[in-house]
Every structure is written in structure tokens, then in C-alpha cells.
Amino acid sequence: AQSVAQPEDQVNVAEGNPLTVKCTYSVSGNPYLFWYVQYPNRGLQFLLKYITGDNLVKGSYGFEAEFNKSQTSFHLKKPSALVSDSALYFCAVRPLHSGNTPLVFGKGTRLSVIA
């Protein structure tokens, strides 16, 4: 069965500094990976996804994520954090070729960007 670990419940970063939100996964075969963001009192919004190809994936709002197969990681990054990036971030995974197997989400990491 697939699983996702987001080892940090909370990440604090100063505005203008680079940010990283960590995600590691376990899946049979090749993974299909997602990052979603949740702002207060809102539903989840898609940020980016990795299927195959370039290990560096660029997404919405200046975010990017790096797929590392050997470390089974898919860390979310941004070169310069904004206060408006403060939100709850979820990593999700499913096997790439697995029929109807649904996504499994991590527990989420709360990002706080301090002015």
C-alpha cells in the first residue's frame, strides 16, 4: 500500500528566504505525486504534479518540487517566501499504473512566513 510522510508539522520561514516543505513517499512501482495547498477555511487547491520526465516540476505561485527517486522524496520549494504563502500544504501519492487506486494524502505541513 502507498503512503506519504510529511515529517514536519510546522515550518517557519522569514519573508524573502527560501522555503522547503518535505515529503517522502512509499509506493509500488513508479509514483504519481501531487502537492496541494489549503488556505484558511478553504478547500484544497492544486499546486503541481509529477508524472514522468524532468525531475524538477514547476507549479503555481512560483512553487516547484524536486522528484528524487533514490531518496523517494518530493520536496516542495520556493526561492523567496511571501507572507501570503502561509497555509497548510499537502503531499499526495498514488502508483502511476494502478487502475482506480485513489490518492493517499500526507498529514499536512503548516507553513508560516513571518514578515
Partner 1 sequence: NAGVTQTPKFRVLKTGQSMTLLCAQDMNHEYMYWYRQDPGMGLRLIHYSVGEGTTAKGEVPDGYNVSRLKKQNFLLGLESAAPSQTSVYFCASSLTGVDTQYFGPGTRLTVL
Interface residues with partner 1 (CB under 8 A) are 9, 32, 34, 36, 41-46, 49, 51, 90, 94, 96, 99-108
CB closer to partner 1 out of 53 and 99: 99
Rounded-to-5 percentages of helix, strand, coil across the chain: 5, 50, 45
At its nearest, how many Å lie between partner 1 and the CB of residue 3? 11
At its nearest, how many Å lie between partner 1 and the CB of residue 113? 21
CB closer to partner 1 out of 44 and 82: 44
Parallel/antiparallel/unpaired status of strands 56-58 and 64-68: antiparallel
- Residue whose grid cell is 522528484: 67
Quote the CA–CA distance of 59 and 64 in Å, as a whole number.
Answer: 6
At its nearest, how many Å lie between partner 1 and the CB of residue 5? 11
At its nearest, how many Å lie between partner 1 and the CB of residue 115? 26
Quote the CA–CA distance of 96 and 84 in Å, as a whole number.
Answer: 32
CB closer to partner 1 out of 15 and 104: 104
Residue among 72, 65, 80 at smallest CA distance from 13: 80
